[in-house]
Amino acid sequence: MKRSIDDHAERFSAVAEEYDEQQDSDEYAACASMVIDAADPGPEETVLDLGTGTGAIALALAGDAGTVIGRDISEGMLAEARRKAEAAGHENVSFGEGRFREPNVDTEVDVVVSNFAMHHLADDEKRAAIEAIAALAPRRFVLGDVMLSAPIPEGEEQYAPEVDDPAAVGVLVEALTDAGFTVSDVTLVSDQYGVLVADR
């Protein structure tokens, strides 16, 4: 059975303090760096980072953007993000509770980013999340995530969809297009990871 939002939040809060040091895969580094580059916010622009976790992407964009808003469901991950923002002296970044389908944002947003988070949602939930992001009317949405461009070969570890439920790249592109975005770039880091850039 699909994990509830509260289950996901608890699971991440339990590992929040060790989360950063565990992100040592080449795929994570490649996706994070591409998401940061593609976001490319202007100095007056507002960036929303959904599923911000400990703020890796949000904090990397703080020097370039006017304002950065991080949203997540895990209070433990948000606490880490706030601690790092304070240590770095970033006063234009704020972190708070918000979820993909209810981002809890009441300001105009120019760029939405999300890295390694949307794959926790089922495909119909991802579609609803993409519609909620489109409703914020950003000029760009950059999604780095686990996404499948080929079936996982038999014998290799499969995902447990109640926790990790990556979509096929085509499913994401179709949902973005249906929500009014034009997918301007698809970069596949491997058969299981990629970055999509969607513009309006």
Ligand X SMILES: C[S@@+](CC[C@H](N)C(=O)[O-])C[C@H]1O[C@@H](n2cnc3c(N)ncnc32)[C@H](O)[C@@H]1O
Contact residue for ligand X among 62, 111, 112, 116 (CB under 6 A): 116
Contact residue for ligand X among 36, 39, 48, 53 (CB under 6 A): 53
Three-state helix/strand/coil letters over 9-20:
HHHHHHHHHHHH
* CB of 94 closer than 8 Å to CB of 70: yes
Contact residue for ligand X among 48, 74, 143, 147 (CB under 6 A): 74
| Shorter beta-carbon distance to ligand X: residue 12 or 141 | 12
Residues 8-37 that bind ligand X (CB under 6 A): 8-9, 12, 23, 32
Segment interacting with ligand X (CB under 6 A) among 47-55, 135-143, 151-159, 165-173: 47-55
Q: Which two tokens stand for residue 82?
A: 């706030």
Pairing outcome for strands 140-148 and 167-168 = parallel
Segment interacting with ligand X (CB under 6 A) among 61-69, 111-119, 150-158, 176-184: 111-119
Segment interacting with ligand X (CB under 6 A) among 45-53, 85-93, 166-174, 181-189: 45-53
Calpha distance 89→105 (Å, rounded):
23
Calpha distance 53→115 (Å, rounded):
9
Pick from 50, 112, 107, 39: nearest CA to 81: 50
DSSP-based three-state secondary structure for 181: coil
Query: Distance between alpha carbon 13 and the CA centroid of its chain, in Å?
Result: 17
Question: Cβ of residue 154: shortest distance to ligand X, in angstroms?
Answer: 26
Residue 56 lies near ligand X (rule: CB under 6 A):
yes
Residues that bind ligand X (CB under 6 A): 5, 8-9, 12, 23, 32, 50-53, 56-57, 72-74, 77, 99-100, 115-117, 120-121
